[in-house]
Amino acid sequence: MLVNPSLILGLIHNIALLLATSLLFDFFWTQQEGEQQFWNKIFTGIFMGVIGVVLMLTPWVLVPGLVFDTRSILLGISGLFFGPVPTFIAILITGVYRLFLGGDGQWMGLAVIISSGTIGLLWRRFRPGWNQKRRIAELYVLGLVIHVAMLVCTLLLPVGSVEYTVRTIALPVLIIYPLGTLLLGLLMFSRSHHWKIKRELFQSEEKFRQMFENSEAVMMLVDPESGRLVEANHAAARFYGYSIEELTRKNVQEINTLSPDEAIEVRRKALSSESTCFVIQHQLANREIRTVEIHSSPITFQGQTVLFSIIHDISERKLAEDALIEAKEKAEESDKLKSAFLATMSHELRTPLNAIIGFSSVMEEENDPVEMKQYAGIINSSGNHLLSIIESIFDVALLQSGEYKVNKTQFSVEDFFQPLIDYANVEKIKRNKDHLDVIAIFPHGIKPPIIHSDRGKLMQLMTNLLNNAIKYTKQGRIEFGFSVHDRDITFYVSDTGIGIPASIVDIIFDQFRQGDENHTRVHDGVGLGLAICKEIACLLNGKIWLETSENEGSTFHCTLYDVLVEENHPEQSVSGLLNPINLTGKTILVVDDMEENIYLLKKFLHSTRATLLDANSGESAIRQIMENPGIDLVYMDIKMPGMDGYEAIHELLKIRPGLDIIAQTAHAVKGVKEKIKEAGCIGYISKPIKREEIYRGLADLFGS
Ligand code: ADP
């Protein structure tokens, strides 16, 4: 038999030992981090050397002193995989041990050790791509080369045993050893490949961990199944106000405000990447609710699929966004309102203007005094209507800017109601609604109280409410009255009119808002009445509200707080004084740059029988004062070209200190009243001038 079976068995046994030991090595190898470290190389070399020695301990003995084992495979593979340092150490250890064993084969054995390691190293150096494509062939050829060299090394045996040895071992060595090299090489390759992947994974996990822990962004890893918080970083701990340990004991369910079903759905979407961004609300440790934007996607971490979530606190951004949306909606709304407002205004202003312009032109051709009087009446009431619209606009502006000074007096509610009844009756007639019953109710058994408030403003509020009640009621009755509670009084005006739909109750107190904002609206008005009422109620330390039911009617209430007074000495109300005072012997100078204004004022003053002079400028007024020392009173227009009213007043008072001057002003805007007073005027009248106002002022001045 050409091949000795015990030789084959011995070699197989030795190869098995080699492979098993290499697994042991693999165990150590994979525990080490960083193949390149010097000490690691030393350790590897020693380990390989020790395996070599172990192999040599279980050899197949050809003749005493001539032994065969698989150290050639081990050293070749060591050269190929681990490079010079470990291989030299392994060569050294195994070489020394072989010399220690001695015998005929010691030089051959040493030569095999050196040649195997060197061939492995050369292979590594000159065929670096051996493991890329034809790995199996490369390893097999490497095995062949190493073991051909081994056969060559038999030349170092004593001359007589060379031939015998070569004949005995050549075939098994060339068949089994290359296969052993191939097997060990493949095993080492697969382990080192596995190790490389593991190391890369470890490094990438390490990088991830560092990024995760040191990031300023709030990050968490969530178990997609249970919702348990697997990991949380420092930023998360700072944000939520829990420690990392506390957080990792929690379930996301404990920090979000979603229902369990919603939370499961969010995790499902994130896991399937159906959606990766969610805006939800999270609760912090201090119970504060924050709006957060979560970017969540699945990753593999430590072999487990988790949801990697980055959490941004967008509460401020959300608030700003909401404010922007609200502002945009408001802008759109106000755009719509603007059109409605312009249409209303245009209609409301044109209607009286139409009457004024139309009837004044008709008057020019009219000779019949009765007709003339009727036209004059229409022009007057249209003018007053126009004035009331303009006054409303100024009123809201002044009330809202805090310009209005409250002028509180004590007055009796009973006295206060009488003019309201008169007003309502006149309005009824004006609106052709004589059939409406308007009733003032005094609560039973209560003496109408005395209150301390601004009578004029309260009157304006109540007349607005009464006006609306009459306007929006076709039939039925209108009732107004009051009730008392402690020191508070609540006035009310109720009607059986069209009522207000619940959907617009909230807006009707806003300026320019009306129940019907269509072009087809049937009622007049510019939508300022209730806005004025609300401002007045506020100004008088009160509130206004309503109860209403569509098609059944409305009741507006206005409570004034802390206005009831015990003492019963109301100030006398000044009744409308239409008869002018007799000023025979007095001289009045009217100063205005507009001729028609001079004409109108002189017309009103005519019936006082005073001597009337006029001037159309400041300069002309000064001349007249110097020429005419008998002037008792001056009506001075404030806004004039050239020398304005203030300058003229200043000059006049220099010439005639103590001269009575009443200013005429278009409207009492911010600071004008104070300025007029400072200039030295005894009072002012506002345009359009009202006859009653003039007469009342003159009575105050010259009354006694
Ligand atoms: P307007 O000039 O339109 O009357 P207001 O500010 O006085 O303006 O009232 C606002 C809106 O409130 C009205 O357009 C109307 O729709 C509603 N309203 C006010 N008072 C009443 C009332 N007594 N009955 C029904 N609707 C009313």
Q: At what angle do helices 455-471 and 529-539 cross, to 10 degrees?
A: 150
Whether the pLDDT of residue 356 is over 60: the answer is yes
Over residues 398-438, the pLDDT tens digits come to 887 777 778 899 999 998 998 899 889 888 988 899 899 99
Q: Which amino acid is at 464?
A: N
Question: Measured between alpha carbons, how far is 401 from 530 in angstroms, rounded to an integer?
Answer: 17
Among protein residues, the one with the nearest Cα to ligand 1's atom 3 is 527
Q: What is the pLDDT of residue 520?
A: 60
**With a 6 A CB cut-off, is 526 part of the ligand 1 pocket?**
yes
How many angstroms is it from 477 CA to the middle of ligand 1?
Answer: 17
Whether the pLDDT of residue 187 is over 90: the answer is no
Q: Which amino acid is at 331?
A: A
Over residues 99-118, the pLDDT tens digits come to 998 888 899 999 999 999 99
Average pLDDT over residues 117-126: 96
How many angstroms is it from 122 CA to the middle of ligand 1?
Answer: 104
**With a 6 A CB cut-off, is 340 part of the ligand 1 pocket?**
no
Over residues 217-232, the pLDDT tens digits come to 999 999 999 999 999 9
Question: Measured between alpha carbons, how far is 343 from 519 in angstroms, rounded to an integer?
Answer: 7
Ligand 1 atom closest to 532 (CA): 6
Among protein residues, the one with the nearest Cα to ligand 1's atom 13 is 514
Q: What is the pLDDT of residue 670?
A: 61
Strand order in the sheet with 409-412: 409-412, 450-453, 564-565
CA distances from 169 to 151, 156, 257, 544 (A): 8, 15, 80, 118
Q: What is the pLDDT of residue 570?
A: 46
How many angstroms is it from 418 CA to the middle of ligand 1?
Answer: 24
- pTM recorded for the entire structure: 0.51
Q: What is the pLDDT of residue 65?
A: 66
Q: Which of 171-175, 231-235, 337-341, 470-474 has the lowest mean pLDDT?
A: 337-341
DSSP designation for 254: G
Among protein residues, the one with the nearest Cα to ligand 1's atom 11 is 514
Average pLDDT over residues 185-202: 84
Ligand 1 atom closest to 527 (CA): 8
Question: For residue 427, how many other CB atoms are within 10 A of its CB?
Answer: 19
Residues 6+ apart with CB under 8 A from 23: 187
Among protein residues, the one with the nearest Cα to ligand 1's atom 4 is 525
Ligand 1 atom closest to 464 (CA): 7
Ligand 1 atom closest to 514 (CA): 14
**With a 6 A CB cut-off, is 515 part of the ligand 1 pocket?**
yes
Question: For residue 344, how many other CB atoms are within 10 A of its CB?
Answer: 21
How many angstroms is it from 516 CA to the middle of ligand 1?
Answer: 9
**With a 6 A CB cut-off, is 76 part of the ligand 1 pocket?**
no
How many angstroms is it from 526 CA to the middle of ligand 1?
Answer: 9
Question: For residue 219, how many other CB atoms are within 10 A of its CB?
Answer: 20
How many angstroms is it from 588 CA to the middle of ligand 1?
Answer: 45
Strand order in the sheet with 587-591: 611-615, 587-591, 633-637, 660-665, 683-686
Among protein residues, the one with the nearest Cα to ligand 1's atom 20 is 468
How many angstroms is it from 392 CA to the middle of ligand 1?
Answer: 14
Ligand 1 atom closest to 553 (CA): 24
Q: What is the pLDDT of residue 56?
A: 85
Among protein residues, the one with the nearest Cα to ligand 1's atom 15 is 515
- Contacts for 658-662: CB closer than 8 Å, 24+ residues apart: 659/625, 659/631, 659/634, 660/632, 660/633, 660/634, 660/701, 661/633, 661/634, 661/636, 662/633, 662/634, 662/635, 662/636, 662/697
**With a 6 A CB cut-off, is 553 part of the ligand 1 pocket?**
no
Average pLDDT over residues 692-704: 83
Question: Measured between alpha carbons, how far is 232 from 402 in angstroms, rounded to an integer?
Answer: 55
How many angstroms is it from 465 CA to the middle of ligand 1?
Answer: 9
**With a 6 A CB cut-off, is 345 part of the ligand 1 pocket?**
no
Whether the pLDDT of residue 575 is over 50: the answer is no
How many angstroms is it from 498 CA to the middle of ligand 1?
Answer: 10
Ligand 1 atom closest to 469 (CA): 23
**With a 6 A CB cut-off, is 517 part of the ligand 1 pocket?**
no
User: Residue 654: pLDDT band by 50, 70, 90 thresholds?
Assistant: very high
Q: What is the pLDDT of residue 577?
A: 46
Judge contact between 527 and 486, C-beta under 8 A: no
Phi first, then psi, for residue 243 (nearest 5°) are -75, 165
Q: Which of 238-242, 363-367, 574-578 has the lowest mean pLDDT?
A: 574-578
Mean pLDDT score across all residues of the chain: 87
How many angstroms is it from 348 CA to the middle of ligand 1?
Answer: 15
Question: Measured between alpha carbons, how far is 481 from 402 in angstroms, rounded to an integer?
Answer: 29
Phi first, then psi, for residue 518 (nearest 5°) are -90, 160
**With a 6 A CB cut-off, is 514 part of the ligand 1 pocket?**
yes
Among protein residues, the one with the nearest Cα to ligand 1's atom 2 is 525
Q: What is the pLDDT of residue 667?
A: 60
**With a 6 A CB cut-off, is 310 part of the ligand 1 pocket?**
no
Ligand 1 atom closest to 493 (CA): 23
Average pLDDT over residues 656-678: 83
**With a 6 A CB cut-off, is 470 part of the ligand 1 pocket?**
no
Residues 6+ apart with CB under 8 A from 258: 266, 280
Q: What is the pLDDT of residue 526?
A: 82
**With a 6 A CB cut-off, is 83 part of the ligand 1 pocket?**
no
**With a 6 A CB cut-off, is 461 part of the ligand 1 pocket?**
no
User: Residue 308: pLDDT band by 50, 70, 90 thresholds?
Assistant: very high
Pick from 335, 348, 288, 295: which is nearest to 315 by CA?
A: 288
Q: What is the pLDDT of residue 4?
A: 62
Ligand 1 pocket check: which of 530, 544, 546 to mutate, most ligand atoms within 8 Å of Cβ? 530
Ligand 1 pocket check: which of 389, 466, 500, 511 to mutate, most ligand atoms within 8 Å of Cβ? 500
**With a 6 A CB cut-off, is 535 part of the ligand 1 pocket?**
no
Among protein residues, the one with the nearest Cα to ligand 1's atom 19 is 468
User: Residue 573: pLDDT band by 50, 70, 90 thresholds?
Assistant: very low
Ligand 1 atom closest to 531 (CA): 6
Q: Which of 30-44, 397-411, 629-643, 683-697 has the lowest mean pLDDT?
A: 30-44
**With a 6 A CB cut-off, is 697 part of the ligand 1 pocket?**
no
**With a 6 A CB cut-off, is 508 part of the ligand 1 pocket?**
yes
Among protein residues, the one with the nearest Cα to ligand 1's atom 7 is 529
